[in-house]
């Protein structure tokens, strides 16, 4: 598979310079960071949440775990994890488990962990388990639009 079409169109519309990096097929973000020889703190992963108003995306480093309580406190909402079948419907152009952490490309409200914004560059799945997008943190944050920011993760 190549880059997810939705993500590719979004990056083109936004005029963002990025680099695609191939890596051996991996099953999880920790393996991806190792296979691509990048720090887990620079690999962004998206976690899809839901509540009675719809879906949203939390973006955290691969080296950390989402703190659901922190997201609830930040947003003042009772969010929970979305199911795998819901993810397939939302991200039909992506492989299972390879959701690009760019919620705005998919029309999703987004919340990003503060620690990602401290890195000089960010990597993320392009929609499959064999390619990463690499771009500056400044461009990555710009792609997220009006994302909420906060301390929403903990060390794994």
- Transcribe 96-141 into DSSP letters: TT---S-GGGGT-EEEEEGGGGGSSEEEEE-SSSSEEEEEEHHHHH
Q: Strand, coil or helix: what is 53?
A: coil
Domain range list for the chain? 5-155
Instruction: Dump pLDDT digits (tens) for 128-155.
Output: 999 999 999 999 999 998 899 999 999 8
Q: Which CATH architecture has domain 5-155?
A: Alpha-Beta Complex (3.90)
Question: What is the number of residues in the chain?
Answer: 156
Give the distance from CA 3 to its chain's centroid. 14
Are the C-beta atoms of 83 and 116 separated by less than 8 Å?
no
| 97 vs 109, more confident | 109
Q: Strand, coil or helix: what is 88?
A: helix
Are the C-beta atoms of 70 and 152 separated by less than 8 Å?
yes
Instruction: Dump pLDDT digits (tens) for 16-75.
Output: 999 999 999 998 898 999 999 999 999 999 999 999 999 999 999 999 999 999 999 999
- Residue 2 pLDDT: 80
């Amino acid at each position: 598979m190549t880059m997810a079409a939705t993500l590719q169109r979004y990056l083109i519309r936004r005029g963002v310079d990025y680099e695609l990096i191939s890596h051996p097929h991996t099953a999880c973000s920790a393996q991806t960071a190792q296979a691509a020889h990048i720090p887990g703190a620079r690999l962004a992963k998206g976690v899809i949440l839901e509540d009675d108003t719809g879906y949203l995306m939390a973006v955290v480093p691969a080296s950390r775990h989402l703190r659901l309580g922190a997201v609830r406190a930040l947003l003042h909402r009772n969010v929970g994890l979305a199911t795998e079948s819901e993810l397939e419907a939302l991200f039909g152009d992506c492989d299972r488990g390879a959701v690009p952490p760019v919620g705005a490309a998919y029309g999703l409200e987004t919340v990003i962990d503060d620690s990602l914004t401290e890195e000089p560059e960010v990597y993320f799945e392009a929609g499959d388990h064999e390619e990463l997008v690499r771009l500056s943190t400044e461009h990555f944050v710009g792609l997220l639009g009006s994302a909420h920011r906060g301390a929403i993760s903990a060390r794994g």
